[in-house]
Structure 1
Amino acid sequence: MTNARDTARSPRRPRSPRPFGRTLCAMVTPFTEAGTLDLDGARRLAAQLVAEGCDGLVLNGTTGESPTTTDREKAELVTAVRDAVGADVSIVTGVGTADTRHTVELALAAEKAGADGVLVVSPYYSRPPQDALEAHFLEVAEASGLPVMLYDIPGRTGTRIEPETLIRLAAHPAIVAVKDCSYDFLGIQKVLARTELAYYAGCDEHILALYAVGAAGCVSTVANVVPSRVAAILDAFDAGDTARAAELQLRATPLIEAMTAAGLPGTVTSKALLTALGRPAGPVRAPLRSAGREAADGLRAVYEEFLAG
């Protein structure tokens, strides 16, 4: 697999169409029942996800509860997971905050901890205009030797990374990818047509749709519980069996809806299912609350029906 760090440090070298792999999981951050970081659980979960089809992991993102983990916990998680999965699996870690200076500090810590890339979300709450947003991303890109995956999720940040801004940012050799939750297919296709940015579907319902127009793969929340089924969608498309790929994507729809669009955050639903399956997860941190019994039972029923299909 292409070493993403080399890509960032060598502007003359062609960019990899899949700088971080193809089937990435937005991995939960396991906690103990006391609420502390469960590094042993993180190692076991990461190894299992890779064994079942993921060739990359995104740590410390939205699903990884990054707003409630400390800087030290973020770095420790990267180091532990790197130890568990080895050098051939890409590790991208979230470093985006509402503060450019803090984001730079986290990017430097991520490089030291052993990450292959950083996920940088738009600064939230302050809602910077596009020129300030562009300057923020460029400063982070210049800060370390790690390549950057931009994270476009305006529904959470309040700020869209506009297509024209993405096109300009693509000129920087360290900015190599986008995790997309924009729900703007036209904008995505404009950027894909005019840049070499590797797009990763950040919404599970868009995995096949984005892949079909040239995306590199996905950063999947649902992959926490069914990594092989997520990989199978892309496998079928790569094999030229587009009908099978569409069938698998549609078959996953009820589980995707239950986990990401039925009222509970993906972190909560992923951890509820992982706990039911006896896999490392633990509770969520406040202000999130773990799924109640009724919600957990409903998720388990949808999951079992999906596996039986």
Structure 2
Amino acid sequence: MTSTGTTARPFGRTLCAMITPFTEEGALDLDGARKLATWLVAEGCDGLVLNGTTGESPTTTDAEKSELVAAVREAVGDRVSLVTGVGSADTRHTVELALAARKAGADGVLVVTPYYSRPPQEAVEAHFRAVADAVALPVMLYDIPGRTGTRIEPETVIRLAAHPRIVAVKDCSYDFLGAQKVLAHTDLAYYAGCDEHVLALYAVGAAGCVSTVANAVPGAIAAILDAFDAGDTARATGLQLRATPLIEAMMGAGLPGTVTAKALLTRLGLPAGPVRAPLLPAGRDAADGLLTRYEELVTA
């Protein structure tokens, strides 16, 4: 498949990798999830990614994943796309999660590379094909080798693009050349999964982003893409750079994005709650620093 040069947006443009709110006792907070999802949409997100890395998918049960999708769908209706993570280390389990996601009301599934077993590329490709064959939902590939230990190599992505239900990629590979190669040779919708790459990937043809930082500043992330769409590339650049200190504080300061997002949302009075073990909450100094970077951004 050769790129047509037209950017498809099967799941929207500004997607938030939404945290999963928990109660103080550690239970799933569905009311909090409804409130947070509604706020994110009102503030500029046209898509939500649930049960992903930021959503603590490794420590939520299959039932909790489905309950979260159903609750958020109830809250936002059909106004935005809902993509839900169904990845696991087991192809059969991933298929089961994908089928459950469709029943719960998801518009698409986010499928991460199988982790721990470090499968070769032939097995990686077979895994994604098995999931796409099994569920009547569009699939977003999730390339995050820093967590899974295995790339989805660009050549593998290009072959998978021929599957009619594999339509998008969430890119956390930090391989900018590889991303451009796939963009040049397929019609897949690329979404920047690293907030520092939101504008860079968009400028070479990405469909948008799946942003962790958008949990706290959805409008600021949307504004970067708005400016670029309006042809004001200087403003888009300025907005990306203005967001950089908060991006660094949330994503590059040694704590997982889930931890920093929940710490900042808590300070802002938005639904979040604790993280689940083995993660630990951010300390007071880290939370203070996050709030400072947030205030600098929103008052700039």
Q: Normalising by the residue count of structure 2, what TM-score does the alignment of the two structures yield?
A: 0.97
The correspondence of residues 253-292 of structure 1 with structure 2, limited to 5 A, is: 253-292=244-283
Residue 42 of structure 1 aligns with an amino acid whose one-letter code is: A
Q: Give me the whole-angstrom Cα distance separating, in 2, the residues matched to 1:303 and 1:89.
A: 26
Match of 1:10 in 2: none
Distance 1:275 1:191 in 2: 38
Matching residue within 173, 185, 191 for 2:176: 185
Paired residue for 2:3? none
User: 2:14 is matched by which residue type in structure 1?
Assistant: T
TM-score when normalising by structure 1: 0.95
In structure 2, distance between residues paired with 1:293 and 1:16:
42
What secondary structure does 2:109 align onto? strand
* Alignment-mate amino acid for residue 269 of structure 2: G
Deviations 1:104-136 (A, max 9, x none): 000000000000000000001100000000000
> Post-superposition, which runs of at least 4 consecutive aligned residues in structure 1 deviate over 3 A?
none
Structure 1 residue 258: Cα displacement: 0.2
* 32, 40, 43: which one aligns with 2:31: 40
Q: Tell me the SS of whatever aligns to 1:105.
A: helix
Q: 1:16/1:118 Cα in 2 relative to 1: closer, same or farther (>3 Å)?
A: farther
The structural deviation recorded for 1:298 is: 1.2
| Deviation of the 1:88 alpha carbon | 2.4
What are the superposed Cα offsets for residues 30-52 of structure 1, whole Å, 9 maximum, x if unpaired? Answer: 00000000000000000000000
Question: In 2, distance between residues paired with 1:281 and 1:187?
Answer: 35
Q: Equivalents in 2 of 1:250, 1:277: separation in Å?
A: 23
Residue deviations 1:191-220 (CA, integer Å, cap 9, x gap): 101101000000000000000000000000
Match for residue 297 of structure 1?
288
Identity %: 82
Structure 1 portions without partners, runs of 5+: 1-14
Q: Deviations over 1:131-172 (max 9, x none)?
A: 000000000001111100000000110000000000000000
Which residue of the partner structure matches residue 117 of structure 2? Answer: 126
Aligned counterpart for 1:94 among listed residues 82, 85, 96? 85
Worse-matched range after superposition: 198-207 or 181-190: 181-190
Q: 2-side partners of 1:277 and 1:16: how far apart?
A: 35
Aligned residue type for 2:251: T
Rate the CA distance shift 1:16–1:235 in 2: closer, same or farther, 3 A: closer
- In the TM superposition, residue 294 of structure 1 has moved relative to its aligned partner by 1.2
**Per-residue CA shift, 1:44-76, capped at 9, x if unaligned?**
000000000000000000000000000000000
Q: Does 1:167 align with 2:158?
A: yes
Work out whether 1:249 is the aligned partner of 2:249.
no
Q: Give, in angstroms, the shift of residue 16 of structure 1.
A: 7.4
Give the SS at the match of 1:104: helix
Determine helix, strand or coil for the equivalent of 1:145. coil
Please show how residues 1-309 of structure 1 align to structure 2 within 5 Å: 17-309=8-300
Indicate conservation of the 8 Å contact 2:190/2:206, yes or no. Answer: yes
Q: Secondary structure at the match of 1:252?
A: helix
In the alignment, structure 2 segments of 5+ residues that lack a partner are 1-5
Q: Superposition RMSD on alpha carbons, in Å?
A: 0.8
SS of the aligned residue for 2:8 comes to coil
Letter in 1 for 2:205: G
Aligned equivalents of 1:163 and 1:305: distance in 2?
A: 38
Amino acid in the other structure paired with 1:17: A
